[in-house]
Amino acid sequence: MKDFLFFILLILGSLITMSSNSWISMWMGLELNFISFIPFINSWNNSLMIETSMKYFIIQALSSSILILSIIMIMSKIYLIIESKFYLLGLNFAVLMKLGMFPFHFWLPNLIEGMSWLTSFIMLTWQKIAPMILISIYFYYKLIIIIIIMSMIISNFGGLNQLSLRKIFTYSSFNHLSWMMSSFLFSKYWWFIYWMLYFLIITPMIYICKTFNFFNINQLFSNFLMKNLFMIYFMNLFSLGGLPPFLGFFPKWFILNFLTYKNFYFLSFFMILLTLLNLYYYIRLFFISLLFFNHKIYWMKKIIINKLMFFIIFLINLPMWMFF
């Protein structure tokens, strides 16, 4: 009952931010959202629980302080005296800190290692909506282009040497957030379509990892995965990486079309190149799993597979093949 109450408050905080007409009510929605998220971190009893919740509180409190300072400057008309780019940069930096994007990316991968799969799922999906709405209202064009390129570079090189699946998904989220931010250059609404497709793709991945207690890459190389989940799991991995003809390729394709239409050729080239590097460590998982799947996990308890659930997961990607 207590978890359900905090979950309702979590959703309510994001809805307040999305539906508000004033900066103060948007800030209040963000505060309600982040305070309601802390009990979910503490619900998973492990040695990193207290450290993770304290890190999350400090980072979010600092970003909220910067955000409310920028809002006060906007509402008190101080920005008419000070050059306008300063308050705009302060607002953008506060929201980027909440998102965990460059140059404030360092806290999120370490933080997510101390979370459960359910908490990680909320952190990578729902917790991104409210800050993205704020940054879509006021954003600095030159800053956004730099953030997109640098976040994709960090996503590629940060995820290459990771063994933890949660960290791999976190670095992958940097890449997807960069694609969402690139939609600001031509529309303020296309990012939400991308987010919904990203939510649809990553949900089965988190569900499988939570159900079978997969936390590291080594656990993917078991006979159990090869016999039961191999096709479904790696179809979703390729879709998450944006490999055609899977579902994850289509939002990237649409965004690239709009960017080239708006003459962002240089940015489009770098995004394609860096996304190919991002796809590399998904393909690496696939080939290593094919070569090293001969060990058996004896300590793993038998879990009855929900065939209906995995059939739905299979259908998420299957219709995309009909276009080719």
Angle at alpha carbon of residue 8, lines to 137 and 32, rounded to 5°:
50
What is the mean pLDDT of the segment spanning 193-218? 85
**Can you give the pTM of this predicted structure?**
0.88
- Is residue 49 over pLDDT 60? yes
**What is the phi-psi region of residue 77: left when phi exceeds 0, alpha when psi lies from -120 to 50, beta otherwise?**
left
Return the closest-CA partner of residue 52 out of 67, 33, 37, 31: 37
Return the percentage of the chain with pLDDT > 70, whole number.
81
User: pLDDT value at position 297?
Assistant: 52
Per-residue DSSP letter, 247: T
**What is the rounded average pLDDT for all residues in the chain?**
80
- For residues 291 and 132, the model is more confident at 132
User: pLDDT value at position 315?
Assistant: 64
